[in-house]
Every structure is written in structure tokens, then in C-alpha cells.
Amino acid sequence: MLFFPSASVENYVTFSQSLPSLPELSACLWLRVESTHIGTLLSYATDDKDNQLVLYGRNLSTSSKASSSPSASPYPSAPSPSLDFVIGDPAYRRLPTSLLLDSGWHHLCVVWSSIQGRFWYYSDRRLITSGSNFRKGWEIPGGGSVVLGQEQDTVGGGFDSAEGFAGQVAGFRVWNRVLSPSEVEGVAAGRGVPRGVVLDMEDIKEVHGEVQQVVQI
């Protein structure tokens, strides 16, 4: 389990290995947030593009300020708490997160298929939303930098405290395929780990700043 005490440019987690090229993926984790927004859960950047894969929960209280900033997010502000699921910037889908902001533990999965051009968003075993025409034919390139807790504007850096994550994360994994609804439910229920994992908590290289890594026995 990872504990991020505050959203800071110094608080983030890096991995010892990268992602392979991915024409489809599933990313799941447990999270606990004591805030009005989630911040950046996951950021994957390559030399060609900093936002190859991002899960970015926007801060509504600062959206009006950010909109006038030269370094503001390129994604329009949202009227309610949300998580931007970005694949190959500027393509993204906005996911609702209001139910995740009650200071309790929640399980979250995002799934994407380039072959179908579809995405699925699960929260606490339930399919919350899905859609089509999302990066069909696209492939996320391998060999980049994976970071939890901060959004990369350059490979391994370019952080902004306003985009940081504060809370707890556990059970983070990325698969190289589309998980079925029953597999997502099984992961959330702790009934084993489906095949195809390409990155997980065992691949953590370093926790930075005040982030604490707690080994669960």
C-alpha cells in the first residue's frame, strides 16, 4: 500500500520497468481519497508525448484559475468531480468520481481496446460507463516512464503540485489485454490475478518525498 500524505511535486512513485507497446489495456487499483478531488493517479510519458496514458482527477476549486494559466490543462473544466482517462493526448474520456470521494476505500478499473475503439470504467465491481470511438487503431508505445501520484510534462519530471495525488493506493496493476466484467469483479473481490499483468506494485523502483510504502502481510 502507498500513502501519499499531500499533493506535492516531491511525492511520487517510479517503477523499475516500463510498459510494453499496448494496443489494449486494463488498469486497476484500490484507492482512498480524503479530498475534494483525486489528482493524478497514473502518468505514462515517452520522449514523443508526455500524456501517452494518464488518469487525472481534476481539482474543481482551482479550475477557474487554471483556465487562465499558460500551463493550464488542455482539457475543458468539468462541473462535477471527474477523472480524465487520457490515451495519446489530446484524446480522453471523462469519468465520474463523486462516489469515490467519501474517504472510504474504492476499487477502480479502466479498460481500453484499440481494436474495438472502446473503453469501460468500473467502480466497486460495477460498470459505471463505457463508450466507443476512443482511439481505435491506436497503440500506446512502450519504453516510457511510469509515475504514480504526479503528472509528467517531461519524461520523469515537469511536475505540478496542483496535479498531485493525496491519499492511499493499493493493488495497482496494468494488464496487456481487456479484462472481462467477471475478471474485474474477481480482482476487486480478491479472487486471484488474471493473466497478462505487465506492471504492478512489485515493480516499484523508488518512493519519493514523504510517500510511505507499507508492506501488507
Mean pLDDT per 10-residue run, the chain (217 residues)? 96 97 98 91 96 89 40 59 94 94 96 98 97 97 98 96 96 99 98 98 98 85
What pLDDT score was predicted for residue 80? 80
Closest listed residue to residue 216, CA positions, set 170, 183, 181, 180: 170
Grid cell locating 165: 495525488
Say if residues 20 and 108 touch (Cβ distance below 8 Å): no
Adjacent-strand bridge partners of 40 = 56
Distance set, CA 163 to CA 42, 56, 107 (Å): 11, 8, 21
Residue 78, φ and ψ in degrees, nearest 5: -115, 145
- CATH code, 2-213: 2.60.120.200
Exposed e or buried b for every residue in 83-110, given b needs 16+ CB within 10 A?
bbbbbbeeebbbbebeebbeeeebbbbb
Q: CB–CB of 50/155 below 8 Å?
A: yes
Say how many C-beta atoms besides its own lie within 10 A of residue 71's C-beta. Answer: 9
Q: Give domain limits for the chain.
A: 2-213
pTM of the predicted structure, to 2 decimals: 0.91
Q: Is 180 helix (H, G, I), strand (E, B) or coil?
A: coil
Backbone angles phi, psi at 66, to 5 degrees: -65, -30
